[in-house]
Amino acid sequence: MRQRFKVGGGVPLKGSVKPAGNKNAALPMVAATLLADGPCELVNVPRIRDVEGLLELLEFLGAKHEWIAPNTLVVDSTNVTPRRLDPDLCSQLRASILLAGPLLARFGSVVLPPPGGDVIGRRRLDTHFLALEALGAEVNIGADFQLDARGLTGTEIFLDEPSVTATENALMAAAMSSGRTVLCNAAYEPHVQDLARGLRAMGAGVDGIGTSTLTIEGSRQLKGARLEIGPDHIEIGSFIGLAAVTDGDIVIEGVRPQDLTSIMLVFDRLGVRPRIDENRLHVEPAQERRVQPDHGGHVPKIEDGPWPAFPADLTSIAVVTATQCDGMVLVFEKMFESRLFFVDKLVGLGARLVLCDPHRVVVSGPSQLHGGVVSSPDIRAGMAMLLAALAAKGESTIYNIGQIDRGYERIDARLRELGAQIERLEGEAD
């Protein structure tokens, strides 16, 4: 059934919200259960479509899972058997690639159809395969990806780019390799750190967590463990943007301040300055919402990059927030060449901006947005369209909301708790 959101804009959001668990930590941790010789309990798991899709893939291999609490999941991969992964399931989510490392390490072979995911530009897999080859795998690429290894041996690996999922695949494979692996130029986003701590709880030796060099002492037997998933800093950034564009008053409970440094810097540049008190963040109403120019009055720039730089997944949120701030700013999306293509939808809602090229957009604000009919092209742009609709005057309809559901748990219900006028509708529009 075709679902859509009907959104009434112009209402300040008020109240308290707790961020969901980090989806980008939950997905590799679900994959990592393939390495354990017993059940794993995963705590603070977001109930989103991408997690459910990865669990379906594990079920296809013979794993069992049970939700024992609203966000607590037990996964038992003890009886998994290797087989070609279901191509339809793989095509529905990018995270299917995360099964390559653990299946290869456990069984010595994996046949993986190409993964799906957001259409935000080319998302190369070379770094994954180069890392696994360094550990001893033979990789053959055709209609499927065929990976084989008689045994994985620890070595020194320098990733050709600090890819998050390639780092995670290498981490999981190295955790069951013989000997020591030194992983250099590794990604170290909060979700990568959560996975590393989870592998340590399972019995792997992992040092250097929180840095770009990880040292892994492999073990041929990893045990079931309790794996804790941290708060989603991308969702926290989204709620900061929601408060800012609606002139709201939102308290976000249960944050990790160390995950928010670059995010806070960017919002500060837009004149949005939340207060953090231990693990509690408060976005107060009447934010300045004035772009801070560079010295000499020059147009400032917001740009993303690998951690600890501003996360690429918040670029779309920054663009919409900037439309409601006084001044001009250049947003430079370095990592994905199609991420900014959603901005034409913002122009249709009244935003003043110019897409310079696939990677750069100039935003001039503030703009009075008005309601309209839009569609969600990917997870993050979908959330950005929700921000725009809630900031706009009048009513908006957002289609293809399954994309938003892939990354944000019960987002419509949680927004209603903050006072948002949002309904989830089924079927064709009248």
Q: State pLDDT tens for residues 242-284.
A: 999 999 999 999 999 999 999 999 999 999 999 999 999 999 9
* Confidence at 94, pLDDT banded by 50, 70, 90: confident
pLDDT of residue 120: 36
Tell me what the pLDDT averaged over the chain comes to: 94
pLDDT of residue 119: 40
Q: Are residues 168 and 309 in the same domain?
A: no
Q: Are residues 153 and 239 in the same domain?
A: no
Known catalytic residue at 194: no
Nearest CA to 178 among 149, 145, 207, 213? 149
Percent of the chain with pLDDT over 90: 84
Distance CA 117, CA 139 (A): 22
Mean of pLDDT values over 220-236: 96
Query: CB of 91 within 8 A of CB of 113?
Result: yes
Query: CB of 351 within 8 A of CB of 323?
Result: yes
Percent of the chain with pLDDT over 70: 97
In terms of DSSP bridges, do strands 421-426 and 3-8 run parallel, antiparallel, or are they unpaired? antiparallel
Helices (H) and strands (E) in the chain, counts: 14, 23
User: Which residues, listed in sequence order, are joined to residue 380 by a DSSP beta bridge?
Assistant: none
Nearest CA to 218 among 207, 210, 209, 229? 207
Strand order in the sheet with 421-426: 373-375, 395-399, 3-8, 421-426
pLDDT of residue 115: 83
Mean of pLDDT values over 66-92: 92
Give 95-129 pLDDT, tens digit per residue.
Answer: 899 999 999 999 999 998 888 744 433 457 889 99
Q: Are residues 143 and 209 in the same domain?
A: yes
Give 396-409 pLDDT, tens digit per residue.
Answer: 999 999 999 988 99
Range of the domain at 201: 23-228
Q: Are residues 45 and 57 in the same domain?
A: yes
Mean of pLDDT values over 76-99: 89
Selected catalytic residue, list 50, 76, 118, 378: 118
pLDDT of residue 324: 98
Sorted by sequence, the CB contacts under 8 Å of residue 115 that are 6+ apart come out as 90, 91, 93, 94, 95, 96, 97
Length of the chain measured in residues: 430
Query: CB of 359 within 8 A of CB of 337?
Result: yes
Q: Are residues 219 and 257 in the same domain?
A: no
Give 133-146 pLDDT, tens digit per residue.
Answer: 999 999 998 888 89
User: Which residues, listed in sequence order, are joined to residue 354 by a DSSP beta bridge?
Assistant: 362
Please compute, for residue 223, the number of CA atoms within 13 A of its CA located in the half-sphere on the CB side.
Answer: 6
Q: Would you call 7 helix, strand, or coil by DSSP?
A: strand
* Confidence at 339, pLDDT banded by 50, 70, 90: confident
Q: Are residues 67 and 14 in the same domain?
A: no
Choose between 350 and 88: higher pLDDT: 350
pLDDT of residue 121: 39
pLDDT of residue 114: 84
- At which of 228, 249, 277 does a domain end? 228
Q: Are residues 32 and 91 in the same domain?
A: yes
pLDDT of residue 398: 97
Distance CA 174, CA 181 (A): 6
- Model confidence at 337: pLDDT above 90: no
Give me the phi and psi of 333, to 5 degrees please. Answer: -95, 105
User: How many domains would you assign to the chain?
Assistant: 2
* CB atoms near residue 239 (< 10 Å): 28
CA 140 vs CA 34, 104, 160, 283: distances in Å: 22, 13, 19, 51
- Model confidence at 44: pLDDT above 50: yes
Q: Are residues 362 and 262 in the same domain?
A: yes
pTM of the model: 0.94
Q: Are residues 336 and 352 in the same domain?
A: yes
Q: Are residues 194 and 242 in the same domain?
A: no
* Confidence at 2, pLDDT banded by 50, 70, 90: confident
- At which of 228, 260, 280 does a domain end? 228
Q: Are residues 236 and 381 in the same domain?
A: yes
pLDDT of residue 118: 42
pLDDT of residue 123: 55
Choose between 26 and 86: higher pLDDT: 26
Q: Are residues 90 and 120 in the same domain?
A: yes
| DSSP category for residue 412 | H
- At which of 193, 228, 263 does a domain end? 228
CA 350 vs CA 6, 34, 252, 394, 396: distances in Å: 18, 49, 29, 12, 13
pLDDT of residue 122: 44
Q: Which residue has the tokens 């921000």?
A: 387
Six-digit token pair at 87?
Answer: 């191509």
- CATH for 221: 3.65.10.10
Query: CB of 222 within 8 A of CB of 34?
Result: no
Query: CB of 63 within 8 A of CB of 39?
Result: no
Q: Apex CA 19: angle with CA 56 and CA 238, to 5°? A: 100
* Confidence at 430, pLDDT banded by 50, 70, 90: low
* Confidence at 168, pLDDT banded by 50, 70, 90: very high
